[in-house]
Amino acid sequence: MTQNYHQLSSDKVLTELNTTEQGLKNEEISSRLSKYGHNVLTEQKSSTLLQKFISQFKDLMIIILMIAAVIAFFAGDASDAIIIFLVVVLNAAFGVFQEAKAENAINALKEMTTPSSHVRRDGQIQTIKSSELVPGDIVLLEAGDIIPADLRFIKTNSLKVEEAALTGESVPVDKNDSPLEAEKLPLGDRHNLGYMNTNVTYGTAEGVVTATGMQTEVGHIANMLNTVDKSITPLQKSIIHLSKILSVLVLIIAALVFVIGIVADRASILDMLLTSISLAVAAIPEGLPAIVTITLALGTQAMAKRNALIRKLPAVETLGTTEIIASDKTGTLTQNKMTVEKIYQNDRLQDAHTSNFELQNRLAQIMILANDSQESDQGLVGDPTETALIQYYLDNKQPVNEVMQNFPRIMSLPFDSERKLMSVVVSHNEQQLVMTKGAVDELLKRTTKIEEDGQVRSLTDKDSKRILEINHSLAQQALRVLAFAYAPTQSIDASTNYDSTEIENNLIFVGMVGMIDPERPEAKAAVAEARSAGIRPLMITGDHKDTATAIAKRLQIIDENEVEGSVITGNELDHLSTEQLDANVEQYSVYARVAPEHKVRIVKAWQKKGKIVAMTGDGVNDAPALKTADIGVGMGITGTEVSKNASDIVLADDNFATIIVAVKEGRKVFANIQKAIQYLLSANLGEVLTLFFMTMLGWDIFAPAQILWINLVTDTFPAIALGVEKAEANMMQNKPRGNKSSFFGDGVMSSILYQGLLEGALTLGVYLVALTFPFHNTHALIHADALTMAFATLGLIQLFHAFNSKSIHGSIFRKDLFNNRMFNWSILLSGILLFATIFVSAFNDTFKVTPLAPQQWFVVLIGGLLMLVIVEIVKFFQRILLKK
């Protein structure tokens, strides 16, 4: 098969690829998919579960621990060696689980955001996943689409394609479907070819797929590079950096414990080596990056279920800091559907939902008959204003089709911009009627009578003045107003061409209708929630100033008394210098009649104020603003592929309320990571301090198995479960964190320090109580009991502290304490694994513990509960200080 498709005519290319303009037959698709594979760029193969498991043992500290365990085994300390091996293997298993969970979540996210293509197959236009394209497919393109595979254009209409990423051409290239003579041409000069991942910026086209996946030009480049993006988020980078710093500190403390233990002759060199290494392994939060990844990835899946598809993982953490949401009006804040809202008839202005729906009503008949809307499988098709008139009666379950059948159309006079009217002539009961709708002032010029309550009389100046006043009042509410009239007429011949003045005269006025694209029902509540969360919503629209202002008032983006100075038009923006806009941007809440290029100026002006900005967009020209914004929000329904590709988030339902849902989820993800960090670091600090002071005070110290087991069972399960905590009730009543926020801000760092110190102090306190009030008489049993009680206390404290960590400042004593089932089960499982070492006698020798009497368990319980009580008291005072 030739590869010089640019030299061939469109017909020859179709013949070469064994296809037609009608597209491939459905039965041909699967065989070609088997032959050519999916239309995706090959990524590096993901590692197997075994490879993931083996990779868990590459950590230097784990290797050192394993070597020490082997030495211990041959030195005769088999129990310690076995338990160390067991803990390391379990740790590795949990590491694989975490990695696989994060990978699966991210793969699921990729699947959700797979781009789609419009194709013609077997004569039918279909929308399919771009990954399912095969050579020979006929692809339909329009401005805003990303070309999904390499194509030979067979039809073009004013087509321009931006190919900078592939050819370096800085401006869009004109494309056509004419064959080229030269055999060898640079990619940029092949004007009848389109390349995968380039952007259609203007016009429309049809193209036949010539290559897919790794056989495309982009695929060749990907094959040469043979790399895959393994970038990590800024948050993950900061967590890894933090882990490295903590690792150094922990290693220093572990070295001190080892040296002091040897000098003070606390234990043998081998035992102290095992203890020090175990301390380092347990205290270094190596699982933190994995927990962060899982929390982020699960957050993206939760958002996807709520119609917010996260395309770029860093967007999740940025969402929680959002301070400005600049949203389009049409379709995002409004329903993108003209709707009848007011009806004026019989000298009465009524809300449409309370009006008379009877179709014997002359106004109803004109609304239905002077109308070119058509019904289709997708609903009504036609001018939005006309479909709104029909939909009004369909929504109120009126038999519209009966009216059309009872008043068959004879002829029509289409709307034109000069006379601003549209008329039809219909027949009914052997009578012909002209039915007209249009602009109020133009229709009144051709009206001589008025119908009120079924009675027709002459139209007076007072009537006209009243009608114009109502029209003006509705227009001020940003309603689009149409007037309706009718008149009996003489015999009209459908084959004759009539001038409009011959038909549209001596009309009888019957009423007016006010229509608007109404706000989404949930948008007002979403705006209110944004405001209560300290987020400022802005409206940006190409619509008229009056319409934008009216909708902004209804949504309370601006208050009734705020209109003056808070609304600016694109023309007014053009007359503002950058400095003037920067200085005054905070006063504007509504931007009307703006072009997409104005959006970049608006975003930058707010960013100069230090604000985190989310910006919505759906067009090709919106891409620069979407990239400039801190959070680019693309539209899944009306958005072009270019705008979606430039976005961090795509709204599957084009709904403003979904942005607020995503912000809430972003805040929740941040808060949950913060909780996991606080829990892990305070717990690890508690372990380090306990062991350090045990060594300094000359007390017996935890065995390596005890250290590793506490770390395994109390860190792994609760920390992961904290990552899926539900949002706290007051989360959207707090101000945004801002762009300088830190996971250690808001009192988290001080909480980690005091809570770690408290854990250590309580554990050492229980140890001291056990020594002071011994249950046995022999020295060995007294110290064995004391160490067992300290071991149990430290574990119990951490399980209780996990409940403390469910909220940074909030009290745990609330009705939703047990609302996270995963957390509840994790605490239960951790508790069983921890205390089985004491209650199951077979494990006592392995873990160097002794059975405890009820009185001793009571002391342990008091130590654990004190952690809850003291942290609750501190939180109580923190909440008082925060309110101040």
- 328 with 346, same domain: the answer is no
Q: Which of 737, 734, 742, 738 is nearest to 609 (CA)?
A: 738
- Three-state secondary structure readout of 710-727: HHHHHHHHHHHHHCCCCC
- 594 with 566, same domain: the answer is yes
- 328 with 408, same domain: the answer is no
The DSSP string of 457-501 is EEPPHHHHHHHHHHHHHHHHTT-EEEEEEEEEE----TTS---HH
- 17 with 137, same domain: the answer is yes
Alpha helices by DSSP H, listed for 587-651, are 596-608, 623-628, 641-645
119: in domain: no
Taking the chain, what is the end-to-end CA distance rounded to the nearest angstrom?
77
In this prediction, residue 444 has a pLDDT band, given cuts at 50, 70 and 90, of very high
Phi, psi of 376, rounded to the nearest 5 degrees: -140, 180
pLDDT value of position 813: 80
- 163 with 60, same domain: the answer is no
Residue 224, pLDDT above cutoff 60: no
Last residue of a domain, one of 484, 516, 548: 516
120: in domain: no
Mean predicted lDDT score pLDDT of the chain: 81
CA 637 from centroid of its chain's CA atoms: 15
**Span 90-105, mean pLDDT?**
59
Considering only residues 792 and 267, tell me which one the structure prediction assigns the higher pLDDT: 792
- 622 with 670, same domain: the answer is no
Residue 75, pLDDT above cutoff 60: no
- 591 with 731, same domain: the answer is no
Last residue of a domain, one of 609, 627, 654: 654
**Span 405-410, mean pLDDT?**
92
**Span 284-291, mean pLDDT?**
66
User: What is the domain-level CATH number for residue 504?
Assistant: 3.40.1110.10
Last residue of a domain, one of 516, 536, 570: 516
Q: Which of 792, 754, 765, 753 is nearest to 693 (CA)?
A: 765
In this prediction, residue 593 has a pLDDT band, given cuts at 50, 70 and 90, of confident
542: in domain: yes
Domain containing 20 equals: 5-39+133-225
Residue 305, pLDDT above cutoff 50: yes
> Considering its fold, how many domains does the chain have in total?
4
The share of the chain scoring above pLDDT 70, in percent, equals: 82
Q: So which residues are the catalytic ones?
A: 328
Considering only residues 285 and 575, tell me which one the structure prediction assigns the higher pLDDT: 575
pLDDT value of position 231: 44
The DSSP string of 186-223 is -GGG-TTEE-TT-EEEEEEEEEEEEE-GGGSHHHHHHH
- 667 with 750, same domain: the answer is yes
Residue 1, pLDDT above cutoff 50: no
pLDDT in tens, 345-395: 999 999 888 766 677 789 999 999 999 888 776 677 777 888 899 999 888
User: What is the domain-level CATH number for residue 824?
Assistant: 1.20.1110.10
123: in domain: no
257: in domain: yes
Residue 285 to residue 743: CA distance in whole angstroms:
15
Considering only residues 263 and 853, tell me which one the structure prediction assigns the higher pLDDT: 853
Range with the poorest average pLDDT among 87-91, 527-531, 695-699: 87-91
pLDDT in tens, 647-684: 888 888 888 888 888 888 888 888 888 888 888 888 88
285: in domain: yes
147: in domain: yes
Tokens found for residue 215:
């056989």
Given a contact cutoff of 8 angstroms between Cβ atoms, the answer to whether 277 and 65 are in contact is yes
pLDDT value of position 537: 92
**Span 401-418, mean pLDDT?**
87
User: What is the domain-level CATH number for residue 617?
Assistant: 3.40.50.1000
- 270 with 314, same domain: the answer is no
Given a contact cutoff of 8 angstroms between Cβ atoms, the answer to whether 712 and 278 are in contact is no
Three-state DSSP class for residue 592 = strand
243: in domain: yes
The DSSP string of 157-180 is EEEEEE-HHHH--SSPEE------
pLDDT value of position 84: 60
pLDDT in tens, 500-527: 888 899 999 999 999 988 888 888 888 9
- 159 with 146, same domain: the answer is yes
pLDDT value of position 134: 92
- 163 with 264, same domain: the answer is no
Residue 171, pLDDT above cutoff 90: no
Q: State the pairing for strand pair 173-174/150-162.
A: antiparallel
Residue 724 to residue 665: CA distance in whole angstroms:
11
pLDDT value of position 511: 95
DSSP state letter for 560: G
Residue 549, pLDDT above cutoff 50: yes
pLDDT value of position 642: 67
List CB contacts of 875: < 8 A, sequence separation 6 or more: 804, 807, 809, 810, 811
- 479 with 350, same domain: the answer is yes
Considering only residues 151 and 879, tell me which one the structure prediction assigns the higher pLDDT: 151
Given a contact cutoff of 8 angstroms between Cβ atoms, the answer to whether 644 and 636 are in contact is yes
Residue 184 to residue 604: CA distance in whole angstroms:
45
Q: Assign residue 278 a region: left if phi > 0, alpha if psi is -120 to 50, beta otherwise?
A: alpha
